[in-house]
């Protein structure tokens, strides 16, 4: 599956602010911005509201397991993401790390079910190694900056540049996203200038007093 670039990926995680039906309010705000600016925004909601969010906005899962259907209690399946009208998944987020062989299998499952694979990496070296699996995106997020007030594009611009270089040398078809501390129009603008094809955000949206305004401010950096 292909999407228009650049792209804004909003990971709702399991923040208190988006539990239950509150996740739908983020989805509705994102839909308004998509329609206003004709941009790509993907939302990764908590799993229990996945199907409801997918009725509103392009939706990806926060995680999938490296298995097909069967006796796997508690597993999140790529096939089911597809069946529930999802379009992709995060893989190997810093808060949900999985072994390399599982990452490879998850990318293969995404390919099988025509889902977008967004594999997260902590730095440019890990990004290079994981790019060998041929995901659609590598999202580089230095863990020490996640949830903070300083963005990766400001604090560590060299990480983005080196990640783009490493990934493209390994897997030319794989694009790079960046995340960690991204909260402003300028953060996004800098990231794209450094070669990123979009950003992965969470707290900068979820914890905002005005969700729609926060999303629009980030999208302005993509335009």
Q: Determine the Cα–Cα distance for residues 211 and 209; give it in Å rounded to an integer.
A: 6
Q: Which residues pair with 140 in a beta bridge?
A: 121, 178
Which of the four pLDDT bands, split at 50, 70 and 90, describes residue 147?
low
Banded pLDDT at 153 (limits 50, 70, 90)? low
Quick one: tokens of 150?
């300083």
Active site residues: 93, 141
What percent of the chain has a predicted confidence (pLDDT) above 70? 95
d(CA 93, CA 97): 6
- The mean-pLDDT minimum among 65-74, 95-104, 141-150, 205-214 falls in 141-150
pLDDT at 72 over 90: yes
- pLDDT, one tens digit per residue, over 84-110 is 999 999 999 999 999 999 999 999 999
pLDDT of residue 60: 98
Distance CA 98, CA 65 (A): 9
Give CA–CA dist 21/48, Å, rounded.
10
DSSP letter, residue 115:
-
Cα dist from 110 to 70, 136, 164, 222, whole Å: 17, 10, 22, 26
Pick from 60, 66, 54: which is nearest to 87 by CA? 60
Write down the pLDDT at residue 148. Answer: 61
Asked if 189 contacts 221 with a C-beta cutoff of 8 angstroms, the reply is yes
Q: How far apart are CA 193 and CA 161, in angstroms?
A: 9
């Amino acid at each position: 599956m292909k999407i228009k670039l650049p792209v804004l990926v909003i990971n709702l995680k399991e923040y208190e602010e988006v539990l239950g039906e509150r996740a739908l309010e983020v989805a509705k705000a994102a839909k308004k911005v998509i329609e206003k600016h004709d941009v790509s925004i993907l939302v990764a909601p908590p799993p229990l509201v996945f199907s409801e969010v997918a009725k509103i906005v392009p939706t990806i899962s926060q995680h999938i397991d490296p298995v097909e259907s069967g006796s796997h209690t508690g597993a999140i399946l790529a096939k089911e993401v597809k069946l529930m009208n999802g379009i992709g998944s995060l893989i190997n987020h810093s808060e949900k790390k999985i072994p390399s062989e599982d990452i490879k299998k998850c990318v293969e499952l995404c390919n099988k079910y025509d889902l977008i694979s967004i594999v997260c990496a902590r730095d440019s070296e890990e990004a290079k190694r994981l790019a060998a699996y041929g995901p659609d995106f590598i999202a580089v997020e230095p863990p020490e900056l996640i949830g903070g007030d300083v963005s990766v594009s400001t604090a560590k611009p060299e990480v983005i540049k080196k990640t783009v270089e490493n990934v493209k040398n390994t897997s030319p078809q794989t694009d790079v996203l960046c995340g960690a501390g991204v909260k402003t129009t300028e953060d996004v603008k800098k990231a794209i200038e450094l070669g990123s094809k979009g950003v992965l955000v969470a707290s900068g949206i979820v914890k905002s007093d005005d969700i729609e305004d926060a999303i629009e401010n980030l999208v302005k950096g993509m335009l």
